[in-house]
Structure 1
Amino acid sequence: MLSLALLKIPVTNLDRAKAFYSKLFEATPVFHSAEFGWTQFMLGSLPVALYIPGKGGGAGLPGHDLDFQLFAPDLPALKDRIDQDATDAEIHENADGSQSLEFRDPDGNGVKIMARVDP
């Protein structure tokens, strides 16, 4: 059985991204290396890494939509926490009955966080 091993987010400024995602995740990084352009968080058992392209972590392009979606049970509380840093954050009602909080990080990466709505 396959499972997700790591999520990587390309960024242009590691310190700025680390501050933003520390607030979003309500977590401190478990690893940080300016030399390698890498900061890593643990979201439960899932490692999430911020990286500067070209420093060994990959060659992604900051400012594009991310190809994953996170889950949070309380989107309004999460939106309140990041409103000052993600002023475009909006909660959407989706056709499948779910809700999503969508916003851009400081590098312009599109982030989507989902919550299911019970019938």
Structure 2
Amino acid sequence: MLNLLLRFILELVLLSSLCYFGFHVQTGLLMQFVLGLGLPVLAAFVWGLFVSPKASIKVPLPVVLFIEAVLFAAAVVCLISSGFTTFAVIFALLSVINRIVILMWKQQSFVN
């Protein structure tokens, strides 16, 4: 159960890192607003469409893992770009370990 709680927290960090990056990128105020809200909304949309346990579009596990890796990698890049390098490394390691545990303990079902 704690592993699934960690997963939820990691997903929230993913969304908040995209939001933080968007609002602090060195562009105009309008672009900051668009990126600050648009990046996490886009990530949540893709997550809900393909990665979520109740995903709208069921895809095979390798596709889920690829999409998930892209989203988490984007969050890591955003954290590093925002100056949170140590936090980005910890976040990346926790994300990988968490995914491995989910797979080992079969905590999420997928389409074969």
Q: Common fold, TM-score beyond 0.5?
A: no
- RCO greater where, 1 or 2, for CA within 8 Å and sep 6 or more? 2
Quick check: which one's strand share is greater? 1
